[in-house]
Amino acid sequence: MMPAAPVPTVLVIDDEVRSQDAIRRTLDEEFAVLTASDADEARRQLERQPVSVILCDQRMPGETGVTFLKEVRERWPDTVRIVISGYTDSEDIIAGINDAGIYQYLLKPWVPDHLLRTVRDAAEAQMLQRDMNRLDLELRTSTPVLRRRAANKLERARTAFDFDRIERADGSPLDAVCELAARVARYDLSLLVLGESGSGKELLARAVHYASPRASGPFVVENCAAIPDTLLESELFGHKRGAFTGAFEDHVGLFQRANGGTVFLDEIGETSAAFQLRLLRVLQEGEVRPVGSPRTVPVDVRVIAATHRNLEQRVHEGHFREDLFYRIACVTLTVPPLRERGGDIGPIARRLVSEVGEALGRPGAALSDEAMACLMTYPWPGNIRELRNEISRAVALSAEDLIDGTAFSTRVLQGQAGRTATAQSPSLPASGTLAERLDAIEAMLLRETLLRNRWNKTRVAKELGLSRVGLRGKMARFGLEG
């Protein structure tokens, strides 16, 4: 069991006993409270034990509270100093702040809740300052170690998000996209990544970041379609306290937090014209203005934007600013949907099974040939995101580590994805030789029988009057084998 943290000690200095008692009653449930009636008694208390916070009356016999706290500042600088006074003499206040380093100047009559909150904050400030001093000392003595740790972490991140880690088959359409992305990553150019939802746009953007000179800086992600326009400005650019209802404190925006790194703005095509103008100014001027602030803050970020929409068409339709389009689309990368790179389904599915199996406590999970073949014939309108969900379902529901096709949803087993798949379903060829047309018909019949029998080769072979060897040969011939 961890030892309990020590209770902070508060020293109350006041020549009126009733005031001492009132403050003690307010604080003694959370603090160890000491009292003194004058500066001499307070010095003796400070010499005997460490004190976190001093509450000192300004008007005392002998010397004022500010005068005494100037001495405290020199001899016990870690102690937080608070003055309580029934007078509003501006000279006293200025002297207390400048000469004695006063943390707070409280006026009598004080409010118990306010006094307690002030002392809490003061004690926390003293504790944080002490921790910071300790960390500063540790940092000074261990800079080489920390530098090596930071370098090791950066190298692990570079490896984890390298372009080669974007799962794909040999000869995948993604090869050309990754090659272009790797070439432009080293240059500080704005990129626009196009592709359907779930196709891997963010993964490509991360690879660009970690292959760039900004790799040691932050990589910050914001989905522009996920939050309302007014909150999006606050989230990206920050706001000042009181800028709008609910803004109870200053908020540092993502652009400032990403300074020196990369900001990935997903679904940029969903933003309003007003926000687009604000973003354009930020990109042009290299500075942000938090909502409600009269001053701008310089930022140094690289912007990678992404969308599933045709932005050029939206520009022509007047829904997206042309000047912003050319600002963010210095280089455009297009991620093909999963249905256009069927060869990638196998490598991606195997990696997902491994990742999901580890996460769900099923490290031995694997896909059978029938399960893989089932995945290969589905059009995946939701792309990699849908594939991950389907594999997660299969791993969770399968009783065996070797997952067969029956573990998938009915939608995948039927090889359909609503209207999209219906429109893409093969039809009888309208041209070609007799042999070519017969092959197409045979492939359609074979696929339909496999799907209907949930890839059970024994039942399919029996229904079609084939041996299992003959069935496997036809499946390989028509590309239906996993």
Q: What's 102's domain CATH number? A: 3.40.50.2300
Q: Give the whole-angstrom CA distance, residue 110 versus residue 323.
A: 58
In a domain, 204, yes or no: yes
In a domain, 458, yes or no: yes
**Same domain? 165 vs 276:** yes
**Same domain? 441 vs 400:** no
Residue type, position 438, single letter: L
Looking at 425, 445, 469, the residue that finishes a domain is 425
For residues 299-323, b (16+ Cβ closer than 10 Å) or e, as one string? bebbbbbbbbeebeeebeeebbbee
Q: What phi and psi, each to the nearest 5 degrees, are found at residue 32?
A: -85, 115
CATH of the domain at 357: 1.10.8.60
**Same domain? 253 vs 282:** yes
Confidence of residue 141 (pLDDT cuts 50, 70, 90): low
**Same domain? 268 vs 187:** yes
How confident is the model at residue 2, as a pLDDT? 47
Q: Between the CA atoms of 308, 310, 316 and 319, what dihedral angle is there, to the nearest 10 degrees?
A: -10
Locus of tokens 């206040």: 93
Confidence of residue 24 (pLDDT cuts 50, 70, 90): very high
**Same domain? 184 vs 317:** yes
User: CA 445 → CA 380, 423, 431, distances in Å?
Assistant: 21, 18, 19
- At 48-96, the pLDDT tens digits run 899 999 999 888 888 888 889 888 988 898 899 998 887 655 555 665 6
Q: Provide the domain count of the chain.
A: 4
Residue 250 predicted with pLDDT over 90:
no
Q: Give the whole-angstrom CA distance, residue 12 versus residue 21.
A: 10
For residues 44-74, b (16+ Cβ closer than 10 Å) or e, as one string? ebbeeeebbbbbbbbebeeebbbbbbbebee
**Same domain? 168 vs 289:** yes
pLDDT over 90 for what percent of the chain? 41
Residue 240, C-beta contacts closer than 8 angstroms, at least 6 positions apart = 247, 250, 290, 291, 292, 293
User: Parallel, antiparallel, or unpaired for β 262-266 and 9-13?
Assistant: unpaired
Looking at 332, 358, 386, the residue that finishes a domain is 332
Residue 1 predicted with pLDDT over 60:
no
Q: Which domain holds residue 209?
A: 161-332
Confidence of residue 331 (pLDDT cuts 50, 70, 90): very high
In a domain, 147, yes or no: no
DSSP string computed for 35-79: EESSHHHHHHHHHHS--SEEEEESS-SSS-HHHHHHHHHHH-TTS
How confident is the model at residue 279, as a pLDDT? 93
How confident is the model at residue 371, as a pLDDT? 86
How confident is the model at residue 271, as a pLDDT? 92
**Same domain? 205 vs 319:** yes
How confident is the model at residue 99, as a pLDDT? 67
How many CA atoms are closer than 13 Å to the CA of 79, on its beta-carbon side?
Answer: 30
pTM score, two decimals?
Answer: 0.60
Answer whether 54's CB lies under 8 Å from 69's CB. Answer: yes
Q: Between the CA atoms of 463, 466, 471 and 473, what dihedral angle is there, to the nearest 10 degrees?
A: -160
How confident is the model at residue 5, as a pLDDT? 61
Mean of the pLDDT values across residues 387-406?
A: 90
In a domain, 133, yes or no: no
Answer whether 276's CB lies under 8 Å from 326's CB. Answer: no
**Same domain? 394 vs 435:** no
Looking at 384, 406, 425, the residue that finishes a domain is 425
In a domain, 137, yes or no: no
How confident is the model at residue 91, as a pLDDT? 59
In a domain, 444, yes or no: yes
Cis ω before 109 (30° cut-off from 0): yes
Locus of tokens 């030789």: 433
Helix axes 457-464, 468-477, angle to 10 degrees: 100
Question: How deeply is 158 buried, as exposed, middle or buried, from its count of CB atoms within 10 A (0-12, 13-18, 19+)?
Answer: middle
Q: Give the whole-angstrom CA distance, residue 38 versus residue 23.
A: 16
Q: Between the CA atoms of 34, 38, 41 and 43, what dihedral angle is there, to the nearest 10 degrees?
A: 90
Locus of tokens 């299969």: 394
Answer whether 353's CB lies under 8 Å from 395's CB. Answer: yes
**Same domain? 326 vs 346:** no
Residue 20, C-beta contacts closer than 8 angstroms, at least 6 positions apart = 12, 14, 35, 37
Other CB atoms within a 10 A radius of the CB of residue 387 amount to 20
More confident residue, 256 or 454: 256
125: helix, coil or strand? helix
In a domain, 155, yes or no: no
Other CB atoms within a 10 A radius of the CB of residue 227 amount to 14
